[in-house]
Amino acid sequence: MNIEILQLIEGARQAKGLAVIIDVFRAFTVECYIARNGAERIYAVGDKEIAYSYKREHPDCLLIGEREGVKLPGFDFGNSPSDVEKFDFCGKTAVHTTSAGTQGVDNAINADEIITGSLCNARAVAEYIRRGNYRQVSLVCMGLGGKKPTQEDTLCAEYIKSLLEGTDIDLQNRMYELRYTSGAKFFDKEKQHIFPEADFHLCCSPDLFSFVLRAEKVGNMYRMVRINVE
């Protein structure tokens, strides 16, 4: 198995074989909670106008997402796991668009298969890869807005790689260090309305979920299909 760690939008475009699109802060942590809380359908889209259009055609759907961290106008939720953590999504359709994570899914045009990843389901991602016996695995770190690498996404990729290769990584200490690097915004009192501290702790809770979300193209959207790996 060849495992490659790639970065940002360009990395998503270069991804081959199985592409694991990683966004820890916060897109694919959010989607794990939406799936855990019973959503009937989750769609990921890159273009926010697709989300608005879908809402006009399906008024009962829930719009979730952000640009530059801020909830989009008319959306039901921002891109915050603490917002959706306790919401009952049973029977609901969620349409999700973000500055980084969903852009990666949309741009992984050369991959044979796409799944998403975050720290909260990293071990499940590794087990899914192991069972699939893939020849090529591309771990794509989406970073900040798909334009700047971030420590949390690279850490997640390295953690998944270590699980596959049977090597050690100091996950707990490196997660703690995030509060002083790319996660510092969650501890800024002036940014709590956009980046609540609770989000940091939810995003940095590894291996909570034993499922992955696989992206399946449906028209101009990607349906995120939950696959249990217990």
pLDDT per residue, tens digit, the chain (230 aa), is 999 999 999 999 999 999 999 999 999 999 999 999 999 999 999 999 999 999 999 999 999 999 999 999 999 999 999 999 999 999 999 999 999 999 999 999 999 999 999 999 999 999 999 999 999 999 999 999 999 999 999 999 999 999 999 999 999 999 999 999 999 999 999 999 999 999 999 999 999 999 999 999 999 999 999 999 97
Q: Which residues have C-beta within 8 Å of that of residue 156, sequence separation ≥ 6?
A: 22, 24, 117, 118, 119, 122, 141
Written as one letter, the residue type at 176 is Y
What CATH topology corresponds to 2-224? putative 2-phosphosulfolactate phosphatase (3.90.1560)
Task: Identify whether the C-beta of residue 81 lies closer than 8 Å to the C-beta of residue 195.
Answer: no
How do the domains of the chain map onto residue ranges? 2-224
Q: With DSSP H G I counted as helix, E B as strand and the rest as coil, what are the percentages for the chain, rounded to 5?
A: 40, 25, 35
Written as one letter, the residue type at 94 is A
Q: pLDDT tens digit string along 32-61?
A: 999 999 999 999 999 999 999 999 999 999
Q: pLDDT tens digit string along 104-139?
A: 999 999 999 999 999 999 999 999 999 999 999 999
pLDDT at residue 47, as a whole number: 97
- What distances in angstroms separate CA 164 from CA 16, 75, 128, 184, one per listed residue? 18, 38, 10, 30
